[in-house]
Amino acid sequence: MASEHTAKAFDSDLQDLTRLVSEMGGLAERLIVDSVDALVRRDVALGQKVVAADAEVDKLQRIIEERAVLTIARRQPMAVDLREIVGAMRVATDLERIGDLAKNIGKRVAALESDFHPLKLIRGLEHMTDLVQSQVKSVLDAYAAHDLPAAMAVWKGDEEVDAICTSLFRELLTYMMEDPRNISFCIHLMFCAKNIERMGDHATNIAETVFYMIEGQAMVDKRPKGDMTSFATTVPGN
Amino acid sequence: MASEHTAKAFDSDLQDLTRLVSEMGGLAERLIVDSVDALVRRDVALGQKVVAADAEVDKLQRIIEERAVLTIARRQPMAVDLREIVGAMRVATDLERIGDLAKNIGKRVAALESDFHPLKLIRGLEHMTDLVQSQVKSVLDAYAAHDLPAAMAVWKGDEEVDAICTSLFRELLTYMMEDPRNISFCIHLMFCAKNIERMGDHATNIAETVFYMIEGQAMVDKRPKGDMTSFATTVPGN
């Protein structure tokens, strides 16, 4: 920082950025909840609302990127200050992806015409969504508070999300094999479940960004990821 | 630019960045081809190679981001020069996502144990992949050459990819309904097809970045996107 004036101006820029990220995070959380709500209640209008609201998330990402870049150019921050700005940009990228995934779920609501509506599956999906939403909330809090242990707890918690998703996939597969009329409905649910699982992945990305901001380096540890692609080998008859 | 010296230093930084993006683009193209090759030929070793190579793509993205940020901080570029740097970061983000999608296909190869291997489907998948790879190549050339018409041609061409993907989905659905033993195999192919379609989406994102770099504003036009989520409503019995 060149002077006290610059330092103050930088702090004010950074506060603006953090506020925007927090606003974007709130919106993304809302979209997670609304998209699955729309899916569970077959609420086409709510699904369309999610699709429309995703544009707001995209816009916020562009604003954050723009502000971040201008702050870097104007204030020439170094080391930890620079990492704060890069961190804001990275978190915004992950939140934008979460918005996209919610939008994809929102779009699928209109395509679900089947009368088939197995309660156990729906509950599983809701449970996974609650978990992911709370992961996103926790990691955004950890980001705002620079709380590394809290971020690492989110990072480790993603295994549970993956496990629920794998068990949902197995169940969906069983329904599909039982009755071909369930197939296209179940495929939509599979893509939705996969989207929710991916939202969880973005929460762990944000946790890694918090690590980077605080520790000044990338995390070396690989996340112990439940490997979804193996589900096929466990299905009888395959 | 403050002086001729700064301008030259900036140009050299920018050349480095462009070279890194081009290197990353070459790698991403390779992963697209290899992942689908591995899938088609059930080559588990090649699939694993793709998974491993994705780490290289991720690393390049971090390097590009780091260099871009340092260039902004050091050279304080304005207007068109700043857009060049932001453009490089955005392209790198899309290429990183393409790498992730290829890695996901690579992972699935090991899970494909079925003897079911319908040639028509495989040809459809290969055709879609050829198209997407050529879209990625064209848009990276357009990026390097600042060729807006070429970028816009890629942007418009994505509709064809979406159409092939929708027709593949319909065929896969038919196979699944015919014989439940095909289901889990077909689901893997569906996720792979969706991944390839998403790579095409990233090519259009890059086209939009080229527009932004040249025109100095975001594209307003919405892409005429083939809506995949409607496939379920066209399936008999649903």
- Cβ of B230 and A111 within 8 Å? yes
Q: State the pLDDT at residue A145.
A: 96
What is the per-residue burial (b if ≥16 Cβ within 10 Å, else e) of B75-106?
A: bbbeeebbbbbbbbbbbbbbbbbbbbbbbbbb
Q: How many CB atoms lie within 10 A of CB B40?
A: 16
Say how many CB pairs under 8 Å bridge A and B. Answer: 108
Judge contact between A48 and A34, C-beta under 8 A: no
Q: Could you report the per-residue pLDDT of A69-105, keeping only the tens digit for each? A: 999 988 888 888 999 999 999 999 999 999 999 999 9
- Structure token digits, residue A237: 């008859």
Was domain B4-234 assigned CATH 1.20.58.220?
yes
Longest pairwise C-alpha distance within chain B: 71
Judge contact between B47 and B111, C-beta under 8 A: no
Show residues of chain A in contact with B62, CB under 8 Å.
218
Closest CA to B112 of B163, B46, B174, B178: B46
Task: Give every CB contact of residue B43 below 8 A, 6+ residues apart in sequence.
Answer: B37, B109
- Structure token digits, residue A3: 């002077």
- Structure token digits, residue A171: 């169940």
Mean pLDDT, contiguous 10-residue spans, chain B (238 residues): 76 94 97 96 95 96 93 87 93 97 95 79 93 97 97 94 94 93 92 96 96 88 53 36
Question: Measured between alpha carbons, how far is B2 from A41 in angstroms, rounded to an integer?
Answer: 59
Mutation target for A interface from B44, B75, B184: give the one with most A CBs within 10 A: B184
Question: In this structure, what DSSP letter does residue B182 have?
Answer: G
CA of A229 vs chain B CAs: smallest distance (Å)? 5
Judge contact between B10 and B76, C-beta under 8 A: no
Judge contact between B231 and A111, C-beta under 8 A: yes
Question: Measured between alpha carbons, how far is B194 from B166 in angstroms, rounded to an integer?
Answer: 9
Judge contact between B89 and B18, C-beta under 8 A: no
Judge contact between A139 and A206, C-beta under 8 A: yes
Question: Measured between alpha carbons, how far is A169 from A173 in angstroms, rounded to an integer?
Answer: 6
Alpha carbon distances (Å) from A189 to A34, A182, B24, B61: 16, 11, 34, 32
Tell me if chain A has a CB within 8 Å of the CB of B42. Answer: no
CA of A54 vs chain B CAs: smallest distance (Å)? 14
Show residues of chain B in contact with A238, CB under 8 Å.
113-114, 181, 184-185
Show residues of chain B in contact with A111, CB under 8 Å.
229-233
Q: State the pLDDT at residue A237.
A: 31
Provide the terminal-to-terminal Cα distance of chain B, rounded to the nearest Å.
Answer: 63
Judge contact between A47 and A109, C-beta under 8 A: yes
Show residues of chain B in contact with A176, CB under 8 Å.
176, 180, 183
- Structure token digits, residue A220: 């070396």
Residue by residue, pLDDT tens for chain A (238 residues) are 457 887 888 899 999 999 999 999 999 999 999 999 999 999 999 999 999 999 999 999 999 999 999 999 888 888 889 999 999 999 999 999 999 999 999 999 988 877 777 888 889 999 999 999 999 999 999 999 999 999 999 999 999 999 999 999 999 999 999 999 999 899 999 999 999 999 999 999 999 999 999 998 888 766 555 544 544 443 333 2
Domain boundaries, chain B: 4-234
- Structure token digits, residue A79: 């080391």
- Cβ of B187 and A187 within 8 Å? yes
Q: Is B171 helix (H, G, I), strand (E, B) or coil?
A: helix
Question: Measured between alpha carbons, how far is B88 from B138 in angstroms, rounded to an integer?
Answer: 16
Nearest residue, CB atoms, A111 vs list B183, B184, B232: B232
Backbone conformation region of residue B136, classed left if phi is above 0, alpha if psi is from -120 to 50, else beta: alpha
Name the phi and psi angles at B146, rounded to 5.
50, 45
- Cβ of A184 and B229 within 8 Å? no
Domain at A7-230: CATH code: 1.20.58.220
Q: State the pLDDT at residue B19.
A: 96
- Cβ of A187 and B180 within 8 Å? no
Judge contact between B203 and B105, C-beta under 8 A: no
Question: In this structure, what DSSP letter does residue B110 have?
Answer: T
Window 145-184 of B: residues touching A by CB (8 A cutoff) are 173, 176-177, 180-181, 183-184
Q: Could you report the per-residue pLDDT of A61-74, keeping only the tens digit for each? A: 999 999 999 999 88
CA of B141 vs chain A CAs: smallest distance (Å)? 24
